[in-house]
Amino acid sequence: MLTVNRISKSYNLDLVLDQVTFTIKPRDRVGLIGVNGSGKSTIMRILIGEETADSGTYQLTPPDLTVGYLSQGLEIPDTLSIGAYLSSLAATTEDIEENSSE
């Protein structure tokens, strides 16, 4: 389960997220919809640890649960099939290290 509690984020004087609160329960399917600049990418970058919130918290239950995010502007190398590319995104650090030493 993902619980987001009153997350806020500003860039300079531009408030992008204003005390955003929501819960995603197991087996829920969620889509983020909004106009450009409404904070969709910002909340995702906070949840994957690329950015920090100015205030608020989020909790993943169980704690080893992870959030995945595929940003817009996806460019798949011509040398890879879509399946191979998606598999590479799902690879763990151990998988990558093992394959690079071969």
List the one residue out of 16, 96, 92 whose CA is nearest residue 53. 16
- Cβ atoms 4, 48 nearer than 8 A: no
Expressed in percent and rounded to 5, the helix, strand and coil fractions of the chain are: 25, 25, 50
Please tell me whether the overall predicted TM-score, pTM, comes out greater than 0.95 for this model. no
Q: What is the pLDDT of residues 22-47, one digit of tens each?
A: 999 988 888 888 998 899 999 999 99
Q: Domain boundaries in the chain?
A: 2-72
- Summarize pLDDT for 41-74 with one digit per residue, the tens: 999 999 988 899 999 999 999 988 888 777 766 6
